[in-house]
Amino acid sequence: MGEFVRLEVADGVATIRLDRPKMNALDRQMQEEIRAAAAEATEREDVKAVVVYGGERVFAAGADIKEMAAMSYTDMVQRSGGLQSAFTAVARIPKPVVAAVTGYALGGGCELALCADVRFAAEDATLGQPEILLGIIPGAGGTQRLTRLVGPSTAKDIIFTGRFVKADEALRIGLVDRVVPAAEVYEQAVAWAGQFAGAATYALRAAKEAVDRGSEVDLETGLEIERQQFAALFATRDRSTGMTSFMESGPGKARFEGA
């Protein structure tokens, strides 16, 4: 358990909890603790899905600008790869991941939310990539993941202007997937994650891998990724359990063991 990031597990759902008052500024230590939490969530067999949460008031308002302002070009050359890979560790968790966004998710905070499979936002949440206002650009995946999510024109508008995106617009453009009252964000995120507690673990992993890796390649290669993942699931006990249950009892009644 890190100083500012901890992994809390209950009923098959892990919460990666950001807790660096006041605004969860993502300094180097916090980035590395996020990496460690993502690795633990990946490895633990009792974790079936993950929620990324910054608390009731704020998700993460961005990088630690005081720390960043003191860095030189050579400092950032050395650090930028670690920054990106810490966030990518969340994106590569082979389980469903939901970001529960309250308050601000700006800069690195928005980039962290983009690493989740889905995003639930409070009605008063604010997202954005305001790095351009500091004379830089997003450096933890924002130019890439935001573009893939909302399209190049919308991503360029958000990144070029550095403007803030309110929850209603974020929902309209596909930046978030659900907008709910602030008091319900975490609860609804946990409920969404909780539905996978008894799911077919390796089928979920294969589905996520096929979608994520397939989106990075041409259609023919993507179809081959899907074919391999599909065929491989016939080696799992859950595949046998699911099909037997379907034939005997109809759909949706299988009790999977995650193997």
Which residue in 49, 60, 131, 189 is the catalytic one? 131
> Residue 12 catalytic?
no
To the query of whether residue 63 is one of the catalytic residues in this protein, the response is yes
pLDDT tens for each residue of the chain, 259 residues long: 799 999 999 999 999 999 999 999 999 999 999 999 999 999 999 999 999 999 999 999 988 888 889 989 998 989 889 889 999 999 999 999 999 999 999 999 999 999 999 999 999 999 999 999 999 999 999 999 999 999 999 999 999 999 999 999 999 999 999 999 999 999 999 999 999 999 999 999 999 999 999 999 999 999 999 999 999 999 999 999 999 999 999 998 999 998 8
Q: Which of 217, 259, 213 is nearest to 240 (CA)?
A: 259
Beta-sheet pairing, 126-128 with 5-10 = unpaired
Is the link from the previous residue into 22 a cis peptide, with omega within 30 of 0? yes
Sheet holding 5-10, edge to edge: 5-10, 13-18, 49-53, 97-101, 118-122, 178-180
CB-based contact 108:122 (threshold 8 Å): no
Domains along the chain?
5-194 (3.90.226.10), 201-249 (1.10.12.10)
| Active-site residue, selected from the candidate residues 37, 38, 63, 199 | 63
Residue 73 buriedness (CB in 10 A; 0-12 / 13-18 / 19+): exposed
What distance separates the 2 farthest-apart alpha carbons in the chain? 65
Catalytic residue among 14, 33, 107, 111: 111
128 is a catalytic site residue: no
DSSP structure string for the chain? --SSEEEEEETTEEEEEE--TTT--B-HHHHHHHHHHHHHHHH-TT--EEEEE--SS-SB--B-HHHHHT--HHHHHHHHHHHHHHHHHHHT-SS-EEEEE-SEEETHHHHHHHTSSEEEEETT-EEE-GGGGGT----SSIIIIIHHHH-HHHHHHHHHH--EEEHHHHHHHTS-SEEE-GGGHHHHHHHHHHTTTTS-HHHHHHHHHHHHHHTTS-HHHHHHHHHHHHHHGGGSHHHHHHHHHHHHH-TT-------
Q: Which of 54, 108, 139, 242 is catalytic?
A: 108
Answer yes or no: 108 catalytic. yes
Amino acid (one-letter) located at 121: A
